[in-house]
Structure 1
Amino acid sequence: MTDLATTRALLHDLIAIPTVSADSNLEMIALLANRLGDHGAEVEIMTDDTGKKANLLARIGPDEPGGILLSGHSDVVPVADQDWSRDPFDMWEDGGKLFGRGTCDMKGFIAAATAMAPRLAETPLRRPVHFAFTHDEEVGCLGARNLSDVLRGRDTLPALAIIGEPTEMRIIEGHKGCCEYTTRFTGLEGHGSRPELGVNAVEYAVRYVSQLLRLREQLRHRTPPGSAFEPPWSTINIGRLTGGHVHNVIPGLAEIDWEMRPVTDADRAFVRERMERYVKKTLLPEMRRVHPRADVITQVIGEVAGLEPMEDNAARDLVASLTGANGTDLVSFGTEAGLFQQLGMSAVICGPGSIAQAHKPDEFIELDQLVQCLSMLHGLVDQLAA
């Protein structure tokens, strides 16, 4: 059976397991663990606190630092209310394309990487190849964050990470982070004719937003030299502000949804520190002078680290040598790559399929994209052969 046929058959099996983020991924992780284990891989399955989700970490080759990590997420987005031509969890082929939920995002890469296990097993490797298949990327990179916590204390970390998100096999060396927050204000209700006796949660929410907008302007002046992002600076967006009921009642509750897209992790820390200081030093003392139980609480919905472009990037250079690509790009969507970069790995994004097909009905991946991906992975094995 050829590599492509093996990949296609495995992809069919992976698509048949509906690993929507709201559901368990344990069946898919078990399938991949068995496939890799059958070819001598050292396999770890790490379940989350619910016991319904798991990450898979596997290694083929010597147990030593400096290896190559092939990474992909197991979860897919929902298909509810989408107009699919056929069953999205029963992969079908038409016109050189494979259709089904997750074909490009990103079970195609996972299938191709896993299909390489027999060749890796029979090749004396100078450096290990690691596989990391995570849960809940689509809802905040939760699995990769858990995995990072586990890997941080280990002395056999991979040196390079290739994240196989759908890039049409283009080399992506950077993307902004994506940080989402909900900030809730608890004040004190009262009659609108005596505003001094209440704590108007909406007014304090508006002041909070005003401070965010001031910081948004300051971020323009923190633009890194030569930043190729569009726009080149970190951004803040106010997505929702709600509170109050009627004209003549002081609102006691308000809520803001907001996000930032940091170019650097330093910008994320800058905004968080300034806002926390503003709440602690300015808003809360004023609110609690009237009502001691007034509060402002910010909930982190998700903090996805960005992938910062680096002048020296061994992963980028390796993938360029394997694919023959002459240049690199940046993307607007987020990935798990930044979490691996924060562990000290050189990281790059390169995988089969197009992001234009992701999350849509009749999602597909072209067979030629899988062929290109397998060619890259074969080249990787050749470079690692002792």
Structure 2
Amino acid sequence: MAIDPVELTKRLVNIESTTYHEGPAGHFLYEYLASQRYEVERMAVAQPDRASTPGAGTGERFNVYGAMAGINPDVVLSTHMDTVPPFFGCTEDDEFLYGRGTCDAKGIIAAQVAAAERLRESGVKVGLLFVVGEERDSAGAAVANTSPKGSKFLINGEPTDNRLALASKGALRVELRAKGRMAHSAYPELGESAIDKLVEALHDVLAMPLPVEPEIGPSTLNIGLIEGGRAPNVIADTAEAHILVRLVGPSDETKRAIAETVGDRADVEFSLDLPFVRMRKVGNLPTMIAKFTTDIPKLTAWGEPFLLGPGSILCAHTPQEKIAKKELLEAVDLYVELATSLVRNS
């Protein structure tokens, strides 16, 4: 019986697998792929330190890789098992599936599994790689990159509205930590406000010019988290902010500009640096530019990368996350078309 990607999506979405808690989804996919006659492998991925990583789990987490026994795949279909919080299960109407992960990226998992079934029936040597941690730090992809399987091509899945991405932006995560000296707020001259330092530094960072790539667009910068201080009547001795820059080129220039702009007002740490990636057009497949970042920069050992998937990134990470059933079925055909074309012309 052919795999139904709609039904498989519903089963996957109803398994909670927010980042650091992917174990149940991994176990399900391991057993499911084994039932489809794949030789399946687990790649263990360590949990981060809970003291330094809010939300870190304690359970088992691992990547899942499957292929037919004894083959080195020519092409590997890959995406991630983890989702952003909060978890909410699957509902549906005639047109759409709704729920956390429907488009990012459990519907993609289902479409890739269905496509792989058709590819192997046609004689294409295909593998499936499903990783953890994409929504945070690509930890699963980094582990997978130490154990490549010799594939020539990697087709990564993210919501691209079933269009082939010609580029994806990089990501630079920046953490600023300012230090001060506590004092009674009635006597500010006796203290040194870490919050004042941080706010001034952030003001200047926001005013920085950022690189622009004519065919892609500008780099963008978001201050996503600010915290610090003790109480309204206490001069703040600590404050920090977390920034994410979407890169359209090498990170060196942006890192240097941020460090120089902040100066001695705060310590600067670059905790994630995923590069901008260009990819090539194939045949007549419709194309797009991905303004987001993927696992591709961490999967360099898995072959030439391509990026394609059903669903819209505009509803990913939102309470309205959904995917059209028709688009899921179309994605299966597109994955088969792309993989077949790549292998045939290699």
Query: Which TM-score band (shorter chain)?
Result: 0.7 to 0.9
- Matches of 2:334 and 2:315 in 1, distance apart? 22
- Matches of 2:45 and 2:202 in 1, distance apart? 35
Deviations, residues 65-101 of structure 1 (Å, cap 9, x unaligned): 7x32211111223346xxxxxxx52554x22333333
How many residues align? The count is 332
Which residue among 148, 156, 161 is the counterpart of 1:163?
Answer: 156
- Aligned partner letter, 1:26: G
Report what 2:237 is aligned to. 252
Tell me if the contact between 1:241 and 1:254 (Cα under 8 Å) persists in the aligned partners: yes
Report what 2:248 is aligned to. 263
Superposition map of 1:1-386 within 5 A: 1-3=1-3, 6-21=4-19, 24-50=21-47, 51-60=59-68, 63-64=71-72, 67-79=74-86, 88-92=88-92, 94-125=93-124, 128-148=125-145, 150-151=146-147, 154=148, 156-189=149-182, 200-202=193-195, 204-205=197-198, 208-209=201-202, 212=205, 216-217=208-209, 219-220=210-211, 223-224=212-213, 226-229=214-217, 232=218, 234-239=219-224, 251-264=236-249, 266=250, 268-273=251-256, 275=258, 283=264, 296=267, 298=269, 300=271, 303=272, 305-310=274-279, 313=280, 316-317=281-282, 321=283, 324-325=284-285, 327-340=286-299, 342-343=300-301, 345-361=303-319, 363-380=321-338, 382-383=340-341, 384=343
Tell me if the contact between 2:16 and 2:24 (Cα under 8 Å) persists in the aligned partners: no
- The alignment's TM-score, normalised by the length of structure 1, stands at 0.70
Mark the CA change 1:212 to 1:345 in structure 2 (over 3 Å): closer, same or farther.
farther
- Matches of 2:292 and 2:64 in 1, distance apart? 24
- Matches of 1:381 and 1:328 in 2, distance apart? 16
Tell me if the contact between 1:45 and 1:54 (Cα under 8 Å) persists in the aligned partners: yes
5+ long unaligned stretches in structure 1: 81-87, 285-294
Tell me if the contact between 2:223 and 2:241 (Cα under 8 Å) persists in the aligned partners: yes
* Paired residue secondary structure (1:355): coil
Report what 1:289 is aligned to. none
Q: CA deviation at 1:238?
A: 4.2
- Matches of 2:45 and 2:328 in 1, distance apart? 31
Report what 1:291 is aligned to. none
Tell me if the contact between 2:66 and 2:127 (Cα under 8 Å) persists in the aligned partners: yes
Q: Which has the larger helix fraction? A: 1
Q: CA deviation at 1:374?
A: 1.9
- Matches of 1:256 and 1:374 in 2, distance apart? 42
Tell me if the contact between 2:9 and 2:110 (Cα under 8 Å) persists in the aligned partners: yes
Tell me if the contact between 2:65 and 2:128 (Cα under 8 Å) persists in the aligned partners: yes
- Aligned partner letter, 1:89: G
- Matches of 1:203 and 1:14 in 2, distance apart? 46
- Aligned partner letter, 1:175: S
Deviations, residues 133-152 of structure 1 (Å, cap 9, x unaligned): 1123233433323333x24x
Larger Rg: 1
Tell me if the contact between 1:15 and 1:91 (Cα under 8 Å) persists in the aligned partners: no
- Matches of 2:227 and 2:322 in 1, distance apart? 39
- Aligned partner letter, 1:227: E
* Paired residue secondary structure (1:184): strand
- Aligned partner letter, 1:228: I
* Paired residue secondary structure (2:292): coil
Identity across aligned pairs (percent)?
28
* Paired residue secondary structure (2:33): helix
Tell me if the contact between 2:160 and 2:288 (Cα under 8 Å) persists in the aligned partners: no
Tell me if the contact between 2:246 and 2:292 (Cα under 8 Å) persists in the aligned partners: no
- Aligned partner letter, 2:89: F
5+ long unaligned stretches in structure 2: 48-58
Q: CA deviation at 1:350?
A: 1.3
* Paired residue secondary structure (1:374): helix
- Aligned partner letter, 1:69: V
- Matches of 2:15 and 2:224 in 1, distance apart? 34
* Paired residue secondary structure (2:305): strand
* Paired residue secondary structure (1:168): coil
- Matches of 2:339 and 2:231 in 1, distance apart? 67
